[in-house]
Chain A
Amino acid sequence: MTETVSGGLIRHGGRKVSDYLVFNTDHKVIGIQYLVVSFAFFIFGGLLAEAMRSHLLTPNNPILGGEVYNEMFTIHGTVMIFLWIIPAFTGLANYVVPLMLGANDMAFPKLNALSFWLLIPGAALLLLSFFIGGAGSGWTAYAPLSLQTSNGQTLWAISLQFIGFSTIFSGLNFLVTIFNMRAPGMTLTRMPLMAWAIAATSIIQILGTPVLSGALFMLILNRVLGTNFFAASAGGDPLMWQNLFWFYSHPAVYIMVLPAFGIISEVIPVFARKPIFGYRLIAVSSMAIAIAGFLVWAHHMFTSGMDPLLRVPFMITSMVIAIPTGVKIFSWLATIWGGKLRFTTSNLFALAFISMFVIGGLSGIFLASVPIDIHVQDTYFVVAHLHYVLFGGSVMAMFAGLYYWYPKITGRLLDEGWGKVHFWMTFIGFNITFLPMHVLGLEGMPRRVSSYAPEFQPLNIVATLGSFLLATGTLPFMVNSIVSLWRGKVAGANPWRALGLEWTLPSPPPIHNFPTPPTVDSDPYGYGEPKARQRLAAPSAPGGN
């Protein structure tokens, strides 16, 4: 039973703090473990970014030497991808998806816990590789440079194997859970779109990650045993590394963004008080993106000297994949249109997502066009694009989801005032940081450089100042998320008056979730419809806008 204490940590059942520090198979505990650990790495990766941005205030700064700078952006990228955004979404999904499906846990609870705990040696090895030095070939680790670098590179590769296995098992778990463990009456077309998004993500994790794993094994063996897969000097094939790497790493970006799409599809209807527009097309487009995502990888290699003819089909597939993405954007706009918008912090982040992700998506079209890519590949234009989709997109959506589900997880609401401070500092700081980078790339600044031509200094200063605002903006969130555990307004079961199954449970939910399996007769988006009106008849709990 939920103990509601007016001024203290709200606990359910007999959960102790120590439950969160050990191997525990409850998906809710695992979800929180993932979220806390991944957020710590968000901070770590962010500090690396701030160090680099500070260094880049002047064009010929001697402070960070070439080798250290190379290792910093390598670890920044690797950490943000593999130890922040992917596990953070995994954690959030771990917590909420079984609840949204009406299930009492994931299909394989022990495997679920193993997936989390595999991150720990992976993270330890990655940090070790940073401190002993040598992983300085970018998160993309192109050979032969990644064969030349010192021992940290091997540790980097091994760490990714641990993290890779973690995501493969996690994807497997979600797919079986989503297929087999939905509540009675929840057909696939009544399933929350978050579940569709996670199913699509899981397919990519299962089919894509092993290819990276194979490539990493070949890299490790090349370095350690002398099997010359990629060593050009011995007749090996550097381009093969790129092909194998990108075969995973392009679909991987959809692993990083599909859960974001899922979150937005959940949050927008609630705060617009309207059903999601075009449910089926959104569900289908998630699957389409997952599949089509495997057909575009060589657009990262347009300037690599790959077969010139093959660039054309990849250009076409890379442009075509914009279509299902555009469908989602328009559907969300149509959901908002005519609604009754409540500007909670969660909703602000969701609306900002739409705004920022469109920019990132549009810059992606430029990159898909081969002649334009020939100019902007490997420049700050790419850095701008990737941060607009990954930060302006995924991270904003992550915050939307965190503000939305925090009350369910903890029983209390995050403070809305500080939430808005967090939002505005993040939104403004983010744009000041990354908008200029489009211009820097177009005008001639390559990426992964610790020194640059003096004419690029003004825009670099602007970007750095923006990054200081962005970084500082994270502090209100960190403080808010801890203080609100004790002092946030009590949320009750359904502070947002939302229709999902998770909101029928107390906040936080009992350890075993649903005492009796719920039955479902519609999707959770029927705002404005008679059935929904009945279900939400009780007046809303205080909180929100």
Chain B
Amino acid sequence: MSMSQPPAQSERDSVSPPRVFDTTSKLVAFVIGVLAIVAGVGAGMFNPFLSNSASSQGILIDALFSVLLGIATSIFVIVQGFLLYSIVRFSREPDDETDGMAFRGHTGLEIVWTAVPAAIVVFLAVFSYQVLAEIEQPRPDELIVEVTAQQYAWSFFYPDLDLTSTELHMPLDRQVLLRMRSKDVIHAFWVPQFRIKRDVMPDRLTEARITGTEIGTYPIVCAELCGVGHSYMRSQAVVQSAADFLSWQQGLIGAKTRGAGAKPADPMAAGRQLFTQGGCNACHALADAGAAGQLGPKLDGIGTTAATRVLGQSAEAYIRTSIVKPNDTIVPGYQPVMPQDYGQRLPPRNVDTLVQYLLGQK
């Protein structure tokens, strides 16, 4: 690609003198370049986005993001800088109907702006690959959790502990290996603070590895459109100290084995806890449990209204049926989307506790 012949002298006089390469332009180009570097480094170092991550994977991903943010900011400043400067400096003088300089190309420049992006791309690809390998690295002593996703709830089974929960509990600084499967459509497991997301498929196992590095409770969000309840398909990931993790385990074991034993000390508190832990709050609103779910019928006052729902069915029977065979009666205006297998998933004692709890909501 060669530069076109510049117009002959006599013709050049009738065109206004070229301002393309004068000192001011060169200075401005230099300033834009410096600004780009400063802005880029600044953006990379003081990245205001991404609140503190809570996983070892997140730390690496955030670092990669910061670097990329810096590079993108530099490029942004260069492009917008030249654009704005051109708009200001190369605006047509009023009444100037002549053309600009017939400058068609410059091989050197074209090589530079092909080669430099190519080099940046190589760097980013290599860096990204390294981060990818690191964040998916298996560790010895991983805690395996089998995740089941269904429309519209999450369930977590710990095979080594033989425990099921509706929340993901993780001991601090210990890598968790999630083995995930869906019962129906594609869902996606995502904890923004962990920066880890993986689709959950119905026909194969998918895996994700997370090491929680900050104690806290973080939302689990479904990130693949899965139907009418997609927005409400939530749970929590709880990163705990080893001691707290142990007591949580024991609490679950206790709840499981309480079986046909004494009634819980405070049935309302136990019921409320089950309501939240079991994920009922994802779809139902119940002020007593601080629940604001929208997908299913509101349960405030259900203790009273249950008796009036189905002719001949007692309040208790109605509530019990609604939990274990939800499609027997669909409240008008709502969709038949409640999971059908709570009867199998929940120990009978827990169903009883829930029924009593809800009967108490007058």
Contact = CB atoms under 8 A, between A and B. Distances in A.
Interface of A: 60, 62, 65-67, 70, 136-138, 142, 144-145, 148, 232-233, 235-239, 272-281, 303-305, 308, 311-312, 315-316, 319-320, 322-323, 326-327, 329-331, 333-334, 336-343, 351, 354-355, 358-359, 362-363, 365-366, 369-372, 374-375, 377-379, 438-439, 442-444, 446, 448-453, 497, 525-530, 532-533, 539-540, 545
B248 interface: no
Contact of B231 (A315, A452, A532): A452
B19 interface: yes
B18 interface: yes
A341 B89 CA distance: 9
Contacts of B99: 273-274, 340, 527-528, 532-533
Interface in B175-209: 184-186, 188, 190, 192-193, 195-199, 201-204, 206
B87 A341 contact: yes
Given A337-B86, A339-B90, A375 B197 contact: yes
Given A529-B4, A530-B11, A362 B51 contact: no
B1 A278 contact: yes
B100 A326 contact: no
B103 A340 contact: no
A446 B223 contact: yes
B304 interface: no
B322 interface: no
B117 A326 contact: yes
A543 to B, nearest CB: 13
Contacts of B37: none
B128 A369 contact: yes
Contacts of A136: 227-228
B299 interface: no
Interface stretch (B104-112, B154-162, B166-174): B104-112
A235 B30 CA distance: 62
A451 B49 contact: no
B232 interface: yes
Contact of B226 (A145, A276, A530): A145
B213 to A, nearest CB: 16
Contacts, number: 279
Most buried by A among B60, B185, B229: B185
A380 to B, nearest CB: 11
B45 interface: no
Interface stretch (B71-79, B137-145, B249-257, B262-270): B71-79
Given A238-B201, A340-B100, A371-B61, A280 B1 contact: yes
B294 A528 contact: no
B292 interface: yes
Contacts of A67: 228, 335
Contacts of B64: 369, 371-372
B104 A277 contact: yes
A333 B92 contact: no
A355 B83 CA distance: 8
Nearest to B53: A375
B100 A378 contact: no
B286 to A, nearest CB: 15
B225 A453 contact: no
B201 A66 contact: no
B111 to A, nearest CB: 10
A144 B102 contact: no
A528 B102 contact: yes
B225 A528 contact: no
B118 interface: yes
B94 to A, nearest CB: 9
B259 interface: no
Most buried by A among B25, B114, B335: B114
B129 interface: yes
A60 B90 CA distance: 50
Contacts of A331: 110
A354 B104 contact: no
B223 A378 contact: yes
A415 B135 CA distance: 57
Contact of B61 (A273, A336, A375, A452): A375
B50 interface: yes
B310 interface: no
A305 B101 contact: no
Contacts of B4: 275, 529
B348 interface: no
A280 B125 CA distance: 28
A305 B223 contact: no
A304 B201 CA distance: 8
A129 B347 CA distance: 43
Contact of A145 (B129, B185, B190): B185
Nearest to B225: A448
A226 B4 CA distance: 64
B302 interface: no
Contact of A374 (B83, B197, B230): B197
A60 B197 contact: no
17 contacts: A66-B228, A145-B227, A233-B202, A273-B99, A279-B104, A279-B105, A323-B121, A330-B109, A333-B79, A333-B82, A337-B86, A362-B75, A372-B65, A444-B193, A444-B219, A452-B231, A528-B102
B124 interface: yes
A369 B96 CA distance: 48
Contacts of A379: 223
A60 B292 contact: yes
A238 B321 CA distance: 34
Given A232-B201, A339-B86, 12 more contacts: A272-B90, A273-B100, A304-B201, A327-B110, A338-B20, A374-B198, A375-B65, A377-B197, A378-B224, A442-B49, A442-B50, A539-B97
Contact of A378 (B50, B188, B231): B188
B225 A70 contact: yes
B305 interface: no
Contacts of A312: 129, 132
A463 to B, nearest CB: 16
Contact of A320 (B60, B72, B121): B121
Given A336-B83, A442-B50, A540 B97 contact: yes
Q: Which 9 A-B pairs have the closest CB atoms?
A: A444-B192, A338-B20, A528-B102, A66-B228, A305-B206, A232-B202, A232-B203, A449-B231, A528-B99
A66 B103 contact: no
A528 B15 contact: yes
Interface in B270-284: none
B124 A355 contact: no
A461 to B, nearest CB: 18
A446 B99 CA distance: 50
A338 B110 contact: no
A341 B125 contact: no
B329 interface: no
A316 B125 contact: yes
A341 B124 contact: no
A305 B35 CA distance: 42
